[in-house]
Amino acid sequence: MDENQKEILKVSIFKHLDSGALKKISAGASSSMHSKGKILFIHGDEAQRFYFIKSGWVKLFRETLDGAQAIVDILPKGYIFGETSIFEDSIYPYSAEVVEPSEIISFSLKNLKSEIAENNQLALSMLSAMARYRRQQDQEIEHRSIQNAPQRLGCFLLRLANQDEVGVVKIHLPYDKTLIASRLGMQPETFSRALSKLKAQTGIRVQGATIEMDSLDSLVRYSCSACSSEFPCKDLHAAE
Amino acid sequence: MDENQKEILKVSIFKHLDSGALKKISAGASSSMHSKGKILFIHGDEAQRFYFIKSGWVKLFRETLDGAQAIVDILPKGYIFGETSIFEDSIYPYSAEVVEPSEIISFSLKNLKSEIAENNQLALSMLSAMARYRRQQDQEIEHRSIQNAPQRLGCFLLRLANQDEVGVVKIHLPYDKTLIASRLGMQPETFSRALSKLKAQTGIRVQGATIEMDSLDSLVRYSCSACSSEFPCKDLHAAE
DNA sequence: GCGTATCATTGACAAAAATCAATTTTCTAA
DNA sequence: TTAGAAAATTGATTTTTGTCAATGATACGC
C-alpha cells in the first residue's frame, strides 16, 4: 500500500494531504490489473468506491436503451474518477470501462467523504479540481457546437502534441482511432475522412497511429480559429 | 442589504450559512436593474465579483474571433454565476449577458474566497453544487451527441413542464425562440422546423410562445428514448 | 393606431455528417 | 507464418442541419 500512497500523492486533490489523512483515505484501497473491455461500474450503480488510474486508459460513458453511446471522457493515468458521487444521490453518473490494459487502484468513498468533511484543505483542493474540470466541459460543449469534425480532430492532436518540441513534431495516438472518433463525437468513417482532410489542408503526415508535422502552426490556424481560447490552451494537462 | 441577504439565503450554497458568515459575504454587495443586452463581463476579464440573479435571465456564452457563439448556459432567477473564478487563474471562463430585464446582485469574490477557506460547511455546499452542475453538463454533452434537433427541443420542453400537472399541460417559453435555439445548439431555422416536426409527431399545439398538450407521454416517448436517463430527469431544478 | 424593427417561419439549396456496403490493412493467436 | 478477426479506409447514398433569401407575424415607440 505504500506504493499506492506514493502514487496518489501525485494527484492534485491529494497533493497537500499529510500522511495521516492519506492513510485514512487509503484504508481498504486495493489495486488490480484489468484488461481491455473490463467494465468497472455501470451508470446508476450505487457508488461505494472511487478509482485512480495508475496506468492505462479508462473510458467514461453513458448509453441509451437502444445502445447509442455518449463518451463523457477518456482518462489517462494519474486521473481519478467516480469521486463526485459522494455528493447528492451517491450513484455513479456514468459507466466506466477499461480501454487499454490498466492498473487501477480503488478507494473507499466513505473514507473520502468523512475526510473531506473534516479537512478543509482537501475540500478546497477538490473544489479547485472541480472548477478546472468544469471549464474543460464548457470547452467541450463549445467545441461540439462550433468546430466541425476536422477542426475537432485538429484540436485533439494539438492537445497531444508537446508544444515545446523543436523541429519535426511527432504525435502518437494514444488509443484506437474508433475510440478517438467517439471521444470526439463522430463516426469512425467521419474520423477517417477528417484525418484525410487535415492531411490535405495542413500538411500533416499520417503513418498508422503516428502523425508527424513540421510545425504546429498550420494545425493551430486550422482548428483554433473556431475556438474561443487561443493556443496554447490553458486547460492542458488539467489533472496534474 | 437586508433584502439581499434574505434573497441569497435561498441559494443552495448559502443555505447553511449563519448570519455572521452571510454578513461577511454580503459586505460590499450591490444590486442593480439591467435591461436586455447588458454585458456583465467578458470571457477573460479579471474576475472580482460573482453574481446572483434576483429576477430575469442571464446568458453565459463564449465566442470565437470570427463571431461564432457557443451558449454555455442560460440561467433563471435564483442562480449564481461567475463564482468558479476564485479557483485557478481568476479570470471569467465565459461572458455574461442579460437577456431579459433582470435584477442582479453582485458580491465580492474575495469575501467568498476567504469565507470558503475558513468555513468547511460552505466549501462542502459549494462542492455539492459543483458536482450537481457537472452532472448537468455531462447530460448536456450527451444530448448534443445523441439527440437530434427535434429530440433536444422535446427534452427542453419536458424540463419546462410541471410534471405534477393534471389534464392539459401548458408550457410557456421563457425567452425568445432564437435564444432557445442557440441554447440547444441549433440555428433558428432548425428550431422552427424542429417545432413543426414535434407538432406532427407528438400532437403538441403551439400558439406563439405557449405550448399545450394533453399529456407529456408522447413527448417523453419521442425525446427520452435517445437519452441515458429516464424521465423524470433527476437533475431538474438543480440549483434549488 | 401606425410604421418600423425585430423575431419567426418557410422554401430552395448547400454542406456536413451518418449510414450502408465493400475492401483493405493491421493485429493477434494458433 | 498464416488464418481469422478487428480496425481502418473508401465509395455511394441518405439524413440532418446550416445557409441564404423572401415573407409573414409580432412588439414597441411615437
Residue from A96, A175, A81 nearest A130 by CA: A81
- Mean pLDDT (chain B) is 90
Through-space distance between the first and last CA atoms of chain A, rounded to whole angstroms:
22
Mean of the pLDDT values across residues B67-76? Answer: 92
How high is the pLDDT of residue A235?
Answer: 64
As given in the structure block, the three cell numbers for residue B76 are: 433563471
As given in the structure block, the three cell numbers for residue A132 are: 478546472
Inter-residue contact A117 to B124 (CB < 8 Å): yes
Q: What is the largest CA-CA distance in chain B?
A: 56
Beta strands B169-172 and B80-81, pairing class: unpaired
How high is the pLDDT of residue B6?
Answer: 55
Identify the band that residue B238 occupies on the pLDDT scale cut at 50, 70 and 90: very low
Mean of the pLDDT values across residues B209-233? Answer: 93
The reply to whether B35 has its C-beta less than 7 Å from any atom of strand C is no
As given in the structure block, the three cell numbers for residue B15 are: 443555505
The reply to whether A209 has its C-beta less than 7 Å from any atom of strand C is yes
As given in the structure block, the three cell numbers for residue A157 are: 492532436
Output DSSP code: residue A61: E
* H or E element, residue B154: helix B149-160
Q: Which nucleotide is nearest to B179 (CA to C1')?
A: C7
**Cα gap B81→B51, rounded to integer Å:** 5
How high is the pLDDT of residue A233?
Answer: 85
Q: Which nucleotides of D are covered by protein (CB under 7 A)?
A: 7-12, 16-21, 26-27
Inter-residue contact A60 to A75 (CB < 8 Å): yes
How high is the pLDDT of residue B162?
Answer: 79
Instruction: Test A64 with B227 for CB contact under 8 angstroms.
Output: yes
As given in the structure block, the three cell numbers for residue B123 are: 466549501
How does DSSP assign A116-182, residue by residue?
A: HHH-HHHHHHHHHHHHHHHHHHHHHHHHHHHS-HHHHHHHHHHHHS-TT--SSEEEE-SS-HHHHHH
How high is the pLDDT of residue B88?
Answer: 72
How does DSSP assign B116-146, residue by residue?
A: HHH-HHHHHHHHHHHHHHHHHHHHHHHHHHH
A186: Cα separation from own chain's centroid: 18
How high is the pLDDT of residue A7?
Answer: 60
**Cα gap B190→A97, rounded to integer Å:** 36
A228: Cα separation from own chain's centroid: 21
The pLDDT tens digits of the residues spanning B47-60 come to 999 999 988 999 99
Cα R_g (chain A), whole angstroms: 19
- Reported pTM: 0.92
A3-12, A14-23, B87-96, B174-183: the lowest-pLDDT one = A3-12
Output DSSP code: residue B7: H
Of B73 and B10, more confident: B73
How high is the pLDDT of residue B15?
Answer: 82
B183–chain A nearest CA distance, Å = 10
How high is the pLDDT of residue A238?
Answer: 42
Inter-residue contact A58 to A40 (CB < 8 Å): yes
Beta strands A169-172 and A210-213, pairing class: antiparallel
Residue from B47, B218, B239, B38 nearest B133 by CA: B239
Through-space distance between the first and last CA atoms of chain B, rounded to whole angstroms:
22
pLDDT of B96 over the 90 cut: yes
How high is the pLDDT of residue A190?
Answer: 98
Cα three-residue angle B222-B177-B170, rounded to 5 degrees: 55
Residue from B46, B83, B44 nearest B61 by CA: B44
Instruction: Test A185 with B118 for CB contact under 8 angstroms.
Output: no
B144–chain A nearest CA distance, Å = 8
How high is the pLDDT of residue A162?
Answer: 79
A157: Cα separation from own chain's centroid: 14
3-state secondary structure of A228: coil
How high is the pLDDT of residue B62?
Answer: 94
**Contacts A226 to B, Cβ<8 Å:** 64, 66, 68
Mean of the pLDDT values across residues B33-43? Answer: 92
Inter-residue contact A101 to A56 (CB < 8 Å): yes
**Cα gap A212→A188, rounded to integer Å:** 21
Residue from A84, A7, A3 nearest A43 by CA: A84
**Cα gap A85→B174, rounded to integer Å:** 32
List the single residue in B130, B140, B228 with the smallest CB-CB distance to A127: B130
B139–chain A nearest CA distance, Å = 9
- Which residues does B178 contact at the CB level (< 8 Å), separation at least 6? B188, B191
Instruction: Test A185 with B128 for CB contact under 8 angstroms.
Output: no
How high is the pLDDT of residue B236?
Answer: 56
pLDDT of B184 over the 80 cut: yes
As given in the structure block, the three cell numbers for residue A238 are: 488539467
**Contacts B117 to A, Cβ<8 Å:** 120, 124
A230–chain B nearest CA distance, Å = 9
Inter-residue contact B123 to B83 (CB < 8 Å): no
Tell me the pLDDT of chain A (240 aa) as tens digits: 455 555 665 576 888 888 889 889 999 999 999 999 999 999 999 999 999 998 999 999 999 988 899 999 999 998 999 999 988 778 999 999 999 999 999 999 999 999 999 999 999 999 999 999 999 999 999 999 999 999 999 999 999 997 777 889 999 999 999 999 999 999 999 999 999 999 999 999 999 999 999 999 999 999 999 999 989 887 654 443
Identify the band that residue B9 occupies on the pLDDT scale cut at 50, 70 and 90: low
Chain B residues with CB-CB distance to A under 8 A? Answer: 43, 62-66, 68, 70-72, 84, 87-89, 93-94, 116-118, 120, 123-124, 126-128, 130-135, 137-138, 140-142, 144-146, 185, 225-228, 234
The pLDDT tens digits of the residues spanning B114-130 come to 999 999 999 999 999 99
How high is the pLDDT of residue B4?
Answer: 56
